[in-house]
């Protein structure tokens, strides 16, 4: 940790010492805050977090935290194999829960407070299947405790338990729904101390290795001391707890467990744990591991697998051997998993890529193949039918970006294709099945006889209209039970009880999101795709608007076309008090995405009927300073998935030209006062648009990657290596064209960015390339911040920087 803090301080000092202010700017490097009207909105109360009971009879609510202070972000932490660990409480660094929890009874809205101690934060809620009781992971600065409670407001701490949430769910109910299985911090003594002098140099070696993805290489272990820390903080004891009596039973010894799941009949436990020695080249998900089945006494019954270190998994590939291993919910004790048939290599030419396997108790025989998939099987757990052996399984065809959803009957040995679709086709997406818990606590699809409930976002060319359907298991026929009204944004939350009543979340541009108990009425005639039942709504919650000043913002979805006919869209937002016909300074925000076809690239995303709330360092704060904003501006890259990035820059330019032309045509945008902003891959977009167009007066690039040659084995959806597509890597990298950036660019980055594709040096090098070529640039490095910005000081300062930059270089330009 001290190594990281020292590096952060040095980088900040260097940035401050070498910064040369542009004309008309000062060199103030202290923390700044945006105008008062923005501060008021930024720190307005947020709506509560909500956990719905399995029966749909109660809501558990807690108030979300405010932005943490920078001092907390800079507190000691350890980077351990892909995660950041808070040594003070053995949790995740920067992780916060909700405060002031309470329960609402859905039937009548009655509210019951839960009396947790001051400073306690609810990190996780684990409902009992009966919907009356719950277990809580309760966080403090120096520990994470186990509490249990009930909907009548009774709540108590379970003594002698400190939870460890790092590798698995820290608390779950056993199938009997009377006992809990928890990951407990074991008795272990003090944490390892850093050596004054390292035991030796850091060494890596490769011989005859194959390419692997760089996206897995974040927050890696680096030293023997890191190895000791990883073992210390990830080791847990598995303890069965009886909440009523406080009795406990320990299963096995301490280890870095990441799965501990009882079979539906409660007789066996599936155990998965990591096995050393620890690697310094991949994150924990690629570490050596082993799986076993234990009996309920914690005694080993069988070995399921033993993996070596997976440090040579192909790019976009999978491990060999069992993955996604889990119990079948509707059988007493049968395991299912997926195995690769192509060596995990997506480029291998094979007739089948994956297969589904099963193994029944006593787990000593040979596993049985159930189904062979032509393409890669996606995670399939929780997709079992309520009864029988029906399993919904989805596979993905990488080359076409196409998905196929199958219905298997694992008891009868049958399979049939249920539906298939372009994975980017939002308009025809049938949604996903609703889940419910069986009495044993395991999850299955929720059914009504031979039909499965599906819910989806309901994307249309007018915006999202969420829906609830019943889909027949024997045909493609669906019945629409609910569809969002075109003038609002409403979404299904959960069923309320065993009948057809359900909880609905409803909002509009002027109505704060609230929850309603909804009762379907008589059937009605409806146009195709519309709901077939009348609905009666009774409010459950009565949340009030914390930021009424935002209700004056106007919002609409605008559709248009690119020069080559590709349909596009953006959400146009106009500031409070906008006078029709006024051409405003305008901010364009976008994030480039890849598509296999033009038809899906142009599909509208989002809804103009949402209630607006602003969080973090949002670009939407420009609306409070008189700017128009083009939000969710479509920037599609259309083409063969293997070669899409061959035309990245020309397509990006065409996308931007079309958006600007449409906004100007509408009379809302002054073509001489337009700025562009983007984060991550959007930062790359900003830099390329400034280098290759003159559409914008200035740009803001946040946490971007500006030289793709530093990711030699792929980025985003680019599947070729640098050595296969050298010119493509260079052409998409604006650092190579920094001398063409002739508009002012503000470059912002967290100086502890762990995303391997956007490490902080990317912004430092790009800044120096622009500055050294005579361009106008400002580099802001935020201490202790990762890929996104979390601290109060950082968020306030970023808002100040963004507003100041565009006020200077965009807004103040002569119309």
Residue numbers annotated as active site? 680, 753, 787
CB atoms within 10 A of CB 801: 20
Cα 652 to Cα 638: distance, rounded to the nearest angstrom: 10
Per residue in 99-111, is it b (16+ CB within 10 Å) or e — as a string?
Answer: bebbbbebeeeee
- Structural contact between residues 587 and 627, judged by C-beta atoms closer than 8 angstroms: yes
Per residue in 4-23, is it b (16+ CB within 10 Å) or e — as a string?
Answer: bbeebeebbeebeeebeebe
From its phi and psi, is residue 515 left (phi > 0), alpha (psi between -120 and 50) or beta?
beta
What are the distances in angstroms from CA 410 to CA 165, 306, 384, 388, 393?
Answer: 34, 26, 10, 9, 11
User: 273 forms bridges with which residues in the sheet?
Assistant: 257, 290
Cα 806 to Cα 353: distance, rounded to the nearest angstrom: 51
Of 481, 486, 556, 472, the C-alpha closest to 524 is 481
DSSP letter at 22? Answer: P
Cα 374 to Cα 356: distance, rounded to the nearest angstrom: 12
| Residue 417 tokens, joined | 């294709």
Sign of CA dihedral 190, 195, 199, 200: positive
Sign of CA dihedral 243, 246, 247, 252: positive
Contacts of residue 617, Cβ cutoff 8 Å, sequence gap at least 6: 789, 794, 795, 798, 799, 802
Cβ burial, residue 498 (10 Å; 0-12/13-18/19+): exposed
- Structural contact between residues 137 and 83, judged by C-beta atoms closer than 8 angstroms: no
| Residue 67 tokens, joined | 């932005």
Cα 550 to Cα 510: distance, rounded to the nearest angstrom: 9
Cα 276 to Cα 227: distance, rounded to the nearest angstrom: 9
Q: What are phi and psi of 327, to 5 degrees?
A: -80, 145
- Structural contact between residues 513 and 538, judged by C-beta atoms closer than 8 angstroms: no
| Residue 148 tokens, joined | 């249990």
Helical pair 648-665 and 681-692, crossing angle rounded to 10 deg:
80
Q: Where are the alpha helices (DSSP H) in 53-189?
A: 70-73
Q: What are phi and psi of 692, to 5 degrees?
A: -120, 0
Cα 688 to Cα 741: distance, rounded to the nearest angstrom: 8
Cα 606 to Cα 572: distance, rounded to the nearest angstrom: 12
């Amino acid at each position: 940790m001290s190594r990281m803090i020292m590096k952060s301080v040095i980088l900040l000092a260097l940035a401050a010492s070498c910064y040369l202010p542009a004309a008309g700017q000062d060199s103030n490097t202290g923390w700044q805050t945006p105008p008062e009207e923005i501060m008021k909105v930024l720190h307005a109360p947020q709506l509560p977090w909500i956990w719905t009971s399995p029966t749909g009879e109660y809501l558990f609510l807690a108030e979300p935290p405010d932005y943490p202070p920078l001092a907390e972000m800079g507190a000691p932490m350890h980077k351990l194999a892909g995660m950041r660990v808070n040594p003070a409480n053995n949790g995740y660094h920067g992780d916060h829960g909700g405060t002031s929890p309470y329960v609402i009874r859905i039937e009548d809205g009655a509210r019951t407070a839960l009396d947790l101690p001051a400073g306690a934060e609810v990190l996780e809620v684990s409902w009992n299947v009966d919907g009356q009781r719950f277990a809580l992971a309760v966080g403090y600065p120096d520990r994470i405790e186990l509490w249990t409670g009930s909907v009548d407001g009774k709540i108590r701490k379970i003594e002698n338990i400190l939870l460890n949430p790092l590798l698995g769910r820290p608390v779950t109910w056993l199938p009997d729904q009377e006992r809990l299985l928890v990951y407990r911090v074991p008795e272990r003594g003090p944490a390892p101390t850093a050596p004054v002098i390292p035991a030796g140099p850091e060494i890596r070696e490769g011989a005859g290795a194959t390419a692997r993805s760089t996206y897995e290489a974040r927050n890696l272990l680096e030293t023997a001391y890191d190895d000791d820390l990883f073992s210390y903080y990830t080791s847990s004891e598995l303890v069965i707890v009886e909440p009523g009596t406080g009795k406990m039973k320990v299963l096995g010894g301490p280890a870095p467990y990441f799965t501990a799941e009882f079979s539906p009949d409660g007789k066996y436990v599936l155990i998965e744990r990591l096995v050393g020695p620890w690697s310094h080249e991949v994150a924990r998900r690629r570490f050596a591991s082993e799986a076993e089945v234990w009996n309920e006494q914690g005694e080993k019954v069988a070995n399921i697998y033993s993996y070596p270190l997976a440090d040579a998994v192909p790019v976009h590939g999978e491990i060999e051997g069992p993955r996604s291993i889990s119990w079948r919910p509707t059988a007493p004790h049968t395991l299912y998993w997926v195995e690769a048939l192509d060596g995990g290599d997506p480029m291998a030419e094979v007739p089948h890529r994956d297969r589904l396997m099963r193994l029944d108790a006593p787990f000593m025989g040979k596993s049985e193949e159930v189904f062979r998939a032509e393409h890669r099987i996606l995670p399939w757990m929780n997709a079992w039918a309520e009864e029988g052996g029906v399993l919904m399984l989805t596979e993905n065809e990488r080359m076409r970006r196409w998905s196929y959803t199958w219905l298997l009957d694992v008891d009868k040995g049958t399979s049939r294709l249920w539906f298939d679709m372009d994975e980017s086709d939002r308009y025809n997406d049938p949604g996903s099945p609703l889940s419910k818990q069986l009495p044993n606590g395991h999850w299955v699809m929720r059914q009504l006889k031979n039909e499965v409930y599906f819910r989806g976002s309901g994307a249309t060319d007018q915006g999202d209209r969420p829906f609830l359907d019943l889909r027949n298991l024997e045909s493609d026929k669906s019945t629409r039970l609910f569809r969002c009204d075109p003038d609002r944004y409403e979404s299904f939350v959960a069923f309320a009880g065993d009948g057809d009543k359900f909880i609905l979340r409803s909002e509009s541009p002027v109505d704060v999101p609230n929850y309603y108990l909804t009762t379907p009425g008589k059937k009605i005639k409806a146009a195709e795709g519309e709901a077939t039942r009348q609905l009666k709504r009774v409010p459950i919650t009565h949340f009030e608007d914390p930021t009424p000043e935002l209700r004056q913002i106007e919002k609409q979805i605008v559709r248009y076309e690119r020069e080559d006919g590709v349909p596009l869209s953006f959400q146009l937002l106009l500031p409070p008090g906008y006078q029709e016909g006024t051409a405003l300074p305008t901010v364009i925000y976008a994030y480039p995405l890849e598509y296999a076809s033009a038809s899906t690239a142009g599909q509208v995303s989002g809804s103009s009927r949402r209630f607006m709330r602003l969080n973090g360092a949002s670009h939407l704060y420009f609306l409070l300073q008189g700017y128009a904003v083009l939000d969710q501006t479509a920037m599609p890259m259309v083409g063969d998935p293997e070669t899409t990035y061959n035309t990245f820059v020309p397509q990006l330019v065409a996308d931007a030209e079309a958006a600007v032309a449409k906004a100007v045509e509408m009379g809302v945008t002054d073509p001489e006062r337009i700025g562009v902003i983007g984060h991550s891959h959007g930062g790359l977009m900003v830099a390329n648009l400034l280098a290759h167009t003159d559409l914008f007066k200035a740009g803001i690039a946040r946490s971007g990657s500006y030289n793709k040659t530093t990711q030699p084995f792929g980025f985003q959806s680019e599947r070729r290596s640098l050595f296969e597509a050298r010119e493509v890597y260079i052409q998409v990298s604006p650092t190579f064209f920094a001398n063409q950036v002739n508009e002012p660019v503000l470059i912002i980055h967290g100086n502890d960015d762990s995303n391997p594709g956007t490490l902080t040096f990317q912004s430092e090098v790009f800044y120096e390339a622009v500055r050294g070529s005579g361009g106008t640039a400002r580099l802001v490095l935020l201490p202790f911040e990762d890929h996104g910005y979390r601290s109060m000081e950082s968020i306030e300062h970023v808002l100040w920087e963004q507003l100041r930059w565009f006020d200077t270089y965009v807004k103040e330009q002569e119309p």
